[in-house]
Amino acid sequence: MQTRKLGTQGLEVSALGFGCMGLDFSYGHKGEHSENIRLLRAAADLGVTFFDTAEVYGPFTNEALVGEALAPVRDRVVIATKFGFNLSDDGAVNLQGLNSRPERIRAVAEASLKRLKTDVIDLFYQHRVDPNVPIEDVAGTVRDLITEGKVKYFGLSEAGAQTIRRAHAVQPVSVLQSEYSIWFRKPEAEIIPTLEALGIGFVPYSPLGKGFLTGAMTAATTFADNDFRKNLPRFAPEAMQANQAMIDLLKTIGTQKDATPAQIALAWLLAQKPWISPIPGTTKQHRLEENLGAANIELTTADLQQIETAAARIEVHGNRYTEALEALTGR
């Protein structure tokens, strides 16, 4: 697996990482614990060195899973986790309860270190921007944790350009994580130019459109009640039917490259900038291997132009989130 440098502070990771959230959170099912452990270790054996989790996933259980699975290979992997939400003592998540006060950041760091079975958090993200806490205070707190040796690198998630610049002036930001894929391209307008100017790496989450860009879904696909996609406008049957045009495009390019739609979607992201490292997630070994195969697909300038021309004619239907969830993003 090729590696990529994210930011200018020394962080280097595999070109494709592993988004761990879906192993036991948000997608309506939880894999068997032993199978999840096996899958994460298989990813490391296949060259993945970048694993993404958060205290809110589970909550808490995802970090513990990642910590257990990666303990035998801890010296050769980068583990990213996140702070930023209020969680009650029983672990219930209040998605309106953003909390990035310095004391909360420190408490999360200490708890995450224990769950991850490590003495340092490689990459510590602010999960969502807290409008009640100046970003300078957030960056300063993480800077102190870095000085103390508890954190190596600072990241932001779904932050706007102005927020990124303000944080970066206090503590260099190594990575921004935000949604980005061939069917959600909002970051191209302002975020990617800002990252390029500041020397900050980009980690796209949902690089496969929460599973849609694999080509495995149709308008007839149904979701479990506890699968958060069930209530997302973009996954309504009429939207999925309209959005099949994007899958058709990926299949067309895939036929030319002997690749799957998912592999083309990931290869497209990798071709955008050399400092982009997507984090697709999966619960299946064959999907893991399929995803990683994208790193070996080279899209030429002509291929990229063909995709760009065709994609420009496709109107994506449905908002990516409900209004309530969207309010937590893009600040």
**Digit-coded pLDDT (tens) for 282-314:** 999 999 999 999 999 999 999 999 999 999 999
**At residue 254, does pLDDT exceed 60?**
yes
The pLDDT tens digits for 155-193 are 999 999 999 999 999 999 999 999 999 999 999 999 999
- The C-alpha atoms of residue 79 and residue 77 are separated, in whole angstroms, by 6
Q: What is the pLDDT of residue 93?
A: 53
pTM for the whole thing?
0.94
**What is the arithmetic mean of pLDDT over 202-215?**
94
Q: What is the pLDDT of residue 330?
A: 42
Q: Residue 214 phi/psi, 5° resolution?
A: -75, -20
3-326 folds as TIM Barrel (3.20.20)
Within 10 A of 303 (CB to CB), how many other CB atoms are there?
18
User: Poorest-confidence range of 8-17, 294-303, 314-323?
Assistant: 314-323
Residue 153 annotated as catalytic: no
Dihedral over Cα of 224, 225, 228, 234: its sign: positive
Q: What is the pLDDT of residue 331?
A: 36
**What is the arithmetic mean of pLDDT over 111-140?**
98
Q: Where are the domains of the chain?
A: 3-326
Q: What is the pLDDT of residue 30?
A: 78
Residue among 57, 153, 180, 205 flagged as catalytic: 57
Q: What is the pLDDT of residue 95?
A: 52
